[in-house]
Amino acid sequence: MTYYWVSAGLVVVSLVVLVLVAARLRRALRQFSTLRSATQAVLDSELGLLRARRAALAVAARRRSEEPEGH
């Protein structure tokens, strides 16, 4: 009879450990998702700045090429 109680106890302990590991994994995934979203926002912002700079450089180059000779 003791064998059955030990087996039942091991099953319960295993289930508790499984639930705790799942909860921790879920929390880690949520934090990873938040970090990924923040990183994506920073990258999008940087990309926007690079595009604006490239457009400004193109406008400046166009103006330089349109200047009359000798100026």
Condensed to tens digits (0 to 9), the pLDDT of residues 17-45 reads 999 999 999 999 999 999 999 999 999 99
What value does the CA radius of gyration of the chain take, rounded to a whole number of Å? 31
Going from the C-alpha of 63 to that of each of 4, 24, 57, 67, 69, the distances in angstroms are: 87, 59, 10, 6, 13
Instruction: Please give the Cα distance from 53 to 58 (Å, whole number).
Output: 9
pLDDT at 28: 96
Q: What percent of the chain has pLDDT over 70?
A: 96
Distance CA 33, CA 52 (A): 29
Global pTM reads 0.54
